[in-house]
Chain A
Amino acid sequence: MASTEMATRPPETGDSRARAGLLAVLRNAWRSLTSMRTALILLFLLAVAALPGALLPQRSLNQRLVDQYFTDYPAIAPVLDRLGFFDVFAAPWFAAIYLLLMVSLVGCVLPRTIEHAKNLRAAPVVTPRNLARLPHHATATLDVGPDEAAERIRGRLRRWRMLETKDGPGRTISAEKGYLREAGNLLFHLSLIGLLLGFAAGKLYGYGGQVIVLSDGGQFCNTGILGYDSFQAGLRVDGTNLTPFCLRVDNFEATYLPDGQPESYRAAIGYQTTDDLNAGRVDQWRPYPLAVNSPLRLDGSRVYLINHGYAPRFTVTFPDGQKRTEEIQWQPVDATTYLSQGATKFEPPGVTDEQKRRTSQLAITGLLAPTSSGGKVVTSVYPALNDPEVAVDVLRGDLGLDDGRGQSIFQVDQSKIDSGQLVRVARANLVPGQSITLDDGTIITFDDVRQWIALQISHDPGQDVVLVFAVLMLVGLGLSLSIRRRRFWARLTPTEDGTRTVVEIGGLARTDRAGYGEEFDRLRADLLDIPDTDGSDVDRPITAAKDD
């Protein structure tokens, strides 16, 4: 089409021709970008591009699985990584596809919106000369005059857009219905854009983080990134502007079925809102029963209960009589029995000599069974805290805490063991109250076990926008798929004597095989008194076009 336009244009010279050529190229590019075919291809690309996001491990979901993939497939993993396959939904090629799709959508839908707005004000299409050519068609002669027949049609078509015109000796009525279909379609497509914008807002200005808090009095305040164990910031979040609030975990209770399947998790927490903090009400806590599926929502932030676990408490009595008590979370390693693993680390008190410190740091590492089987090898048989027992190694030496490298709180630095700087000095199974004595007289007591809960804190300023547009999208989809755009015409011709009227009706559905047959049949029955017993002067509708 563009080429025929070009051909009819007068010849141009030099610059202006080049410019016209460029314009034509741009216009062609725009046209093909906004064509249905392109939209279709982009939709396919989108589906295909998203698939590796489900089939390959993704950094954003589980870094550990990605690392595992690197060890399993050392040859292809780096290549995949360079191409962004472990971060599909942040990859430039993924963004390119959906952005192109959105551009295509805008380019396609905006002109259609304008067209539709014009259409809404336009009169229905005039009656075709030959109604018998339409897929739905019928004729009958009614025993009433043309005025009465027209009145009857107008009454029946009350909810249709209608136009009545003179036509030779008689008149015609054209009517159209189902404009909401196109409106729904446009609403649907435009909502997709709103959805994407809301999504983008969340990615820019949202943040989330996880933090483990000990039960029975542990606290957390959302004042900065440092309070979190891990934190995911939106692109425009630097962590200096978090909405402040504080939480205190008063109690945590989990119940299990006899086979160990969890039945319920419930944490009694207290919280202080930004207002509370600003007003200095720091000793009052508002209670909230935090549970799975029931987050705490405050000041645009949400707090979720996402995991729980155990923290053993150990007391070390040093040879000089000084005591130190530590209580730090151990990590569940078995999701059904909550067998946990961890490392509780101690600094010898009052040692100032660097050299001496580096030989006398202590770590208690090993396993914790909340309900121990009681055997020689500590295993857990049930996730609740019924018969706790730990199986621990006590290590002494240099924990590497001063090396300036980050350390896992659940483990000791393996390289220190390998290099002999950290040595095992005892191994024992302990139940609460039991202790071991080391060669230098240090006594280590396993006191008790406390529970901890893992909280997820989320902040997403875009999510309400996304919800609104998702609902609009659904409404638009429903309208556009359930409503049929259809046209209806009637030609009324009075008989010679003017007492009877020949009524010819025709119908055309404008949408893809969506069917009009039944409704047209009803119209025919209502307007032409069909089906009736004599029915002699009635054209049967053309069945080929019927939809069932």
Chain B
Amino acid sequence: MKYFGLKVHEAHKLIKDREISSEQLTKSIMDRIEDVEGIVHGYVTVTKEYALKKAREMDKKIAEGEEPGPLSGIPCAIKDNICTKDILTTCSSKILKNFKPPYSATVYQKLEEQGCIMIGKTNMDEFAMGSSTENSGFFTTRNPWDPARVPGGSSGGSSAVVAADEALFALGSDTGGSIRQPASFCGVVGFKPTYGRVSRYGLIAFASSLDQIGPITKDVRDCALILNAICGHDPMDSTSVSADVPDFTRFVDKDIKGIKLGVPKEYYTMQIDDSVKKETGEAVTNLANIGAEKVELEMPYTAYALPAYYLINPAEASSNLARYDGIRYGFTYEDAENLLEAYKKTRSSGFGPEVKRRIMLGTYALSSGYYEDYYLKAQKVRSLIARDFDQAFKNCDVIVTPTAPTVSFRTGEKIDDPLMMYLNDIFTVPVSMAGLPAVSIPCGFVNGLPVGLQIIGKPFDEGTIIKVASAFERMLALDKVKPLFGSYVRGGA
């Protein structure tokens, strides 16, 4: 039977009613991977034996009378920068190509405890630096809607495998848009929670003041379920926050009458494709038609977020990536004469071009004589951006913008021009700089390629985002539209 197309909540019902077993579901996913992975290339590692063993264990527990929870026996994919004990965790980097972490990230422990079945680790831009997965040290993931195009990034593998039904859901990580932009390109739901909402313990550090883990799912209800599972304070992460975690599914399928929808004009006047502008504009109209109240906003510092981000992000990255010295773990250059040469040769052959570029940029921005002009200046601008959002949220409940300025682009189109690639993040970066929660949900298509709508919320108010996203999804039912692999796939899709 073909169960791979199920959503998490649908599969849960079937498992709960004893209509299918976790093993059947997991096998169906494995069959699907066999059929489409040759096109998608979303996984760095598929943990087939491990998954089937875990699924059988779960089935045994259920057969012995254990009541299955919402995630019991549900197959999921994990981005390859999230540590999974004794299972390869590469960050899609040659420098970590053989790294098996001695411990698991808190988020993965939580999913395991709730009975999730991990079926593999997904491809990404190396160390999460990029917007297309073309910076992966191994291979490029393809967009299931058009394999000649990129899935976005850096959580491109996670987004593509969910869109292609190769996992029921996935975890990604978002530093400047790395969950939302690929979710937009792949036509799935991607949620970046408030900074501090989800533990970063065991997430391989990139830019620590910005990194946040979140779910990539087939619909908004699934997104709420996964948020329920992963949010919450963790003593192992000193930046995690002890805020109450509501049951996010309570916000699904609710009326949005009277919700104030902020629409900042800056997001619609920056460099943006007309077709994307049109689709997101219609989304705002649609939301107004079901009772939301449109509020026009001015957020004058919006355009300064990206340049500030591209100082803060490389600065933090250059400091975090100093740990890769080839001595305690990972790839090492073997024939070095002395320690300094070992460091240099290891790092030069282990890191790819974008990682080197950010390390160089960050090192420069932090170096003596430039710190105040660059890093400190960027941190001050970051305050102005956060202030913009504070002001805006005095007049509205959520802010609605496009997720990305374009739909998915062709492989190779932007890879030689770093600045062009960075401009992909123009609408997602301001949100990251302010630490706010935001979702990307499908809102339409341009030439058969998905367009994403970004819904931004107040700090720790993920619930209102879910409420608006759910109402929008119910109206358009785009969660029912899937990429057709057609003739690509053995036996059809």
| A and B pair up | no
Give the A-binding residues of B (Cβ under 8 A). none
